[in-house]
Amino acid sequence: MTTYVVFTRERTTDPTELKIYGEKAGPAGQGHPITRLAFYGDIETLEGSPVEGAVILSFPSKADALAWYNSPAYAEAREHRFKGADYRIFMIEGVDRTP
Kindly state the DSSP code that residue 42 receives in the 8-state scheme: -
Q: For 23-80, how does the pLDDT look when each residue is reduced to its tens digit (9 = 90+)?
A: 999 999 999 999 999 999 999 999 999 999 999 999 999 999 999 999 999 999 999 9
Domain boundaries, the chain: 3-93
pLDDT of residue 96: 80
Relative to beta strand 85-93, strand 3-12 is antiparallel
Q: For 3-17, how does the pLDDT look when each residue is reduced to its tens digit (9 = 90+)?
A: 999 999 999 999 999
- From the number of C-beta atoms within 10 Å of its C-beta (0-12, 13-18, 19+), residue 84 rates as buried
Residue 3: which of 71, 88, 94, 81 has the closest Cα?
94
Is the CATH code 2.30.31.10 the one for domain 3-93? no
Confidence of residue 97 (pLDDT cuts 50, 70, 90): confident
